[in-house]
Structure 1
Amino acid sequence: MHQKKNFLDPPKILVLGFAAIILIGSILLTLPASTTNGQGLTFLNAIFTATSATCVTGLVVVDTGTTFTLFGQLVILFMIQVGGLGFMTFATLFALLLGKRISLKERILLQESLNNLSMEGVVRLARRILIFTAVIEFAGALILSIRFSFEMPVGKAIYYGIFHSISNFNNAGFDIFGHYQSLTGYVGDPTVVLTICSLITIGGIGFIVMNEIFEFRSSKRLSLHTKIVLITSSLLLIGGTIGIFLFEFSNEKTLKPLSFSGKVLGALFQSVAARTDGANTLNIAEMSQTSLLLIVFLMFVGASPGSTGGGIKTTTFTTLVGAIWSQIRGKEDVIFFRNRVEYETIYKALTVSFSALFLVFTITMLLTITERGTDFLKLLFEATSAFGTVGLSMDLSRDLSPLGKMLITFTMFAGRVGPLTIAFAITMRRNPDSFRYPKGKIMIG
């Protein structure tokens, strides 16, 4: 007797949940009250913007600061917050406020949403995530509001501080300065640069890592996951900063006109932002091809599991590097900090990486058809940025054809919910094999 399949299993619910938020946001952005011209966005531009906000990407086809009214900007900000934390975290918040008990099914969904290894303590983790988010975003908003108050009215400075704190902690990178300038006016400003970098970095390491760091004073231990996230993130940040600094040092259109401290801040910001945030202090389109390829790599790797960022994730990248190093050394096991990585984890890392490569390759190839005459590096950069939910662009997003916008919209969605989650959501539940075939040999290399 076959057990009845549950159509709405966790991956399907997560995909449908994100899709529902995007649809509602798209409808709101088409309303006349959302845009300054009183006409609302076209549905294609609205769904592109809603997907970019909900999937915390930051790619835009219209200028956020000048196109949208306060209502439209608040709709975008709400989608960024829900998309960054995950709708299940918000659902848990409302349930807790109403005194409702969290059911087993909801706990499973929350575990899947947070990418947590265990269901144990998942509600407590969700509660802490909300507290962490409120405290960090408030601190960021306070610092930015004070800084912006020196050049704009206090009320406007507070709003700008709140908007950019939420946007960058959730690794979205939307800005409201207008005219597609992002943060280029603050390239040498240590207060703005270091505050935004801190928000992006904290949001990108993942809530599980945040929680472990918070508990370190009492536990005196960090898990293997947290150690790998912190070390890999640090190496990518330092390596990216040094690379961009060296490659752009003599570029007249980026770092060369700046002071030495300005060059360091500019390189640091683009290294941090390349990991999954769409803000920029340098003109991306004017950067050297070497720097752009480095940024493509950083965007592809992305942030860490259970964070507000995208990409294949730092742990996936490190697991693959560890597997390659073990093969080169002739070792059977992959070892990190005297811990052996299970083969299932290595297979998953390979699957995630290959799926991501296939997606970026396919979307880039399709863009060469829909965007004929456009430089290939621009297309690769755009596709990788969309997959990694980064939001950096070589000034291509707003010039995309309707088909190109649809391709990038799908890529942002796939990059946020994950290629594997989408695959699981549209296929049957995986069943273990009842038997195994005999081994076969294949020549490799």
Structure 2
Amino acid sequence: MGLRRRLSRPMRSMPHGRVIRLSPPELLLLGFGLLSALGTLLLLLPISAYEPLSWHEALFTATSAVTVTGLTVIDTSELTLVGQIILLCLFQLGGLGFMTFTALTLMLMGMRVPLQHQNLIRENFNHTSFRDLSHLVRTVILFTLLIESLGMMLLAVAWVPEHGVWWGLWLSLFHAISGFNGAGFTLWTDSLTTQVADPLVNAVVITLIIAGGLGFVVVAELRAMLKGHRLSLHSRIMLHATFWLILASTLAILLLEWHNPTTLGGLEGLGVRLQAALFQAVTPRSAGLNTLDTAALREPTTLLTMLLMLIGAGPGSAASGIKVTTLVVLLLVARSFIRGSVQPSAFGRAIPDSTVFKAVAVALAVLLLAFTCLFVLTISEPGKQFLDLAFEAVSASGAVGLSRGITDELSLPGQFTLIVAMLLGRAGPISLGYFLATRQPHGVKYAEGQVHIG
């Protein structure tokens, strides 16, 4: 059946209920595309901005919000309260995941979720059982609302006395949702750099970013652990890897930026420098918020930040990138090869070959996307610094949102390149995971051939 026919008649009636004709990857890209288009139209309304936005500014902003990236070609202060609410709704929807809302909507309507769409939801949340699918969706939404509400209340303690009740509450709500979903949007022109010395704001936002980046399955297992259940291999890998990544990155940033007068070197007090380094170590893996001037970071720190953006956070979270577990699996494969082991393993459990193949494919896909984006940018933006373009390409491909300040200076072809990179970076790895999870075994097995590696 052709794509055009499936798009014109996306639903069909079956004896057991109505079923969606579209394949999961098509549904994902179509969903993000429709949300971006809807957001574009809403942002073009006169009530959304103090000065009318151009169509490409509205499109870029809406796509960045839906893909929870955070790259901007406008200042969010140019948006009215209505425009800011539209922006918040877009990255809340994008953060929770389009497929989650699709599954919930179908369930509420009494419609059947086809097996192939359940597969995609399973891949999105690293969930291996279909029995508790509706329970998982409810857990996702309830946990999101709970954490965002707590974050808002704690941020309000810091911002309501300073900015007044209504504006302080709105700031708190906006940044709590942005932080948890890794959206990267703020209501200030300089992100959170003015909050670099505030321990409460830093602690709350860092906690929101980490909680949103662990993945809902890990959070659900942590909750179940209180009842005596054991953590799965996935959750143990996520928790250990997240801890060591944050610790190593924080120490590296401290060493690299300690004497930089425009970043850590310009801050007074050991505590302020530590929390600034910690924030900068946490935010590249999903959030896009910053308390240090990203453009002022030294080149080694910039490269480290790009690596963290490529890695991302956990499966089933709002983050993109190759994911932490993918990195760990690749490292375990390398360790297994060096040791001469038959199969990679962790915590007394072997890693299946299918997981290894998936990790290699996802990592390669993300790297190719970032490289292609950078390649096009070097053509469309001949006057820009290579490091700035590379940073922008990695940030868009990983749906992070950090920038060295050149996003609004890019040409229209450059901005469209980032739009495509944000969409593919958000939906591509999930779609690739679906194809790998549902591939059919071939009936023909070929004789092995020798290929020299290294």
Aligned to 1:70: 81
**Using a 3 Å threshold, how does the CA distance of structure 1 residues 409 and 227 change in structure 2: closer, same or farther?**
same
Letter in 1 for 2:219: M
Counterpart pick for 2:229 among 200, 217, 220? 220
Shift of 1:422: 6.5
Contact 1:244–1:267 (CA<8 Å) still a contact in 2? yes
Verify: 1:24 aligned to 2:52, yes or no.
no
Match of 2:240 in 1: 231
Structure 1 residues 79 and 357 mapped into 2: Cα distance closer, same or farther (>3 Å)? same
- 1:264 match: 274
Distance change in 2, residues 1:15/1:93 (3 Å): same
The alpha-carbon distance between structure 1 residues 86 and 318, as it changes in their structure 2 partners (threshold 3 A), is: same
Q: Which residue of 1 aligns with 2:10?
A: none
How does the TM-score come out when normalised to structure 2? Answer: 0.91
What secondary structure is seen at the aligned counterpart in 2 of 1:161? Answer: helix
1:151 aligns with 2:165: no
**Is residue 2:200 matched to residue 1:200?**
no
Cα deviation, residue 95, structure 1:
5.8
Which one of the candidate residues 66, 70, 86 is aligned to 1:58? 70
Deviation, 1:423, is 9.6
Question: Could you say which residue in structure 2 is the equivalent of 1:245?
Answer: 254
Residue of structure 1 equivalent to 2:313? 303
Q: Which residue of the partner structure matches residue 127 of structure 1?
A: 138
Map of 1:44 onto structure 2: 56
Q: Deviations over 1:234-284 (max 9, x none)?
A: 111111111111100000101112121111011000111011111100000
Q: How does 1:144-183 map to 2 (within 5 A)?
A: 144-177=155-188, 180-183=189-192
Equivalent of 1:416 in 402, 426, 443: 426
State the AA in 2 paired with 1:18: F
Gap change, CA 1:420 and 1:146, over 3 Å in 2: closer
- Which residue in the other structure is 1:314 paired with? 324
**Counterpart residue type for residue 75 of structure 1:** I
Alignment of 1:102-117 (within 5 A): 103-105=112-114, 107-108=118-119, 110-117=121-128
Tell me what 2:100 maps to. Answer: 89
How far apart, CA to CA, are the structure 1 residues paired with 2:327 and 2:440? 28
Where 2:163 maps in the other structure, the secondary structure is coil
C-alpha contact 1:299 1:390 (8 A) present in aligned 2 = yes
Query: 1:226 aligns to what SS in structure 2?
Result: helix
Unaligned runs of 5+ in 1: none
Q: Deviations over 1:308-361 (max 9, x none)?
A: 111100000000000001111111110111111111110110111111111111
Task: Indicate the residue corresponding to 2:293 in structure 1.
Answer: 283
**How far does residue 415 in structure 1 lie from its aligned partner after superposition?**
1.1
Structure 2: 5+ residue runs without aligned partners? 1-5, 7-19
Identity of matched residues, %: 39
Aligned to 2:27: 13
Q: For each residue in 1:63-86, what CA deviation from the matched residue of structure 2 results, as whole angstroms up to 9, or x when unmatched?
A: 11x210111111110011100001
Contact 2:124–2:430 (Cα < 8 Å) also in 1: no
State the Cα distance separating 1:430 from its structure 2 match.
4.5
Q: Deviations over 1:411-434 (max 9, x none)?
A: 111111124617978x9x854311
2:26 match: secondary structure: helix
Partner secondary structure for residue 378 of structure 1? helix
Q: Greater shift after overlay, 317-326 or 360-369?
A: 360-369
CA RMSD across the alignment: 1.9
Structure 1 position 332 matched with structure 2 position 342: yes
1:134 CA displacement: 1.0
- CA distance in 1 between partners of 2:103 and 2:439 (Å): 28
Which residue, 360, 365, 370 being the options, matches 1:350? 360
Shift of 1:7: 5.2
Q: How many residues align?
A: 432
Q: What letter matches 2:101 in structure 1?
A: F
* CA deviation vs aligned residue, 1:289-324 (integer Å, no higher than 9, x gap): 010001011110001000011110000000000000
1:109 deviates by 5.3
2 CA distance for matches of 1:353 and 1:94? 32
SS in structure 2 at match of 1:151: helix
Tell me, yes or no, if the aligned pair for 2:70 and 2:185 is still in contact at 8 Å: yes
More divergent stretch after superposition (17-26 vs 198-207): 17-26
Superposition pairs for residues 392-407 of structure 1, below 5 Å? 392-407=402-417
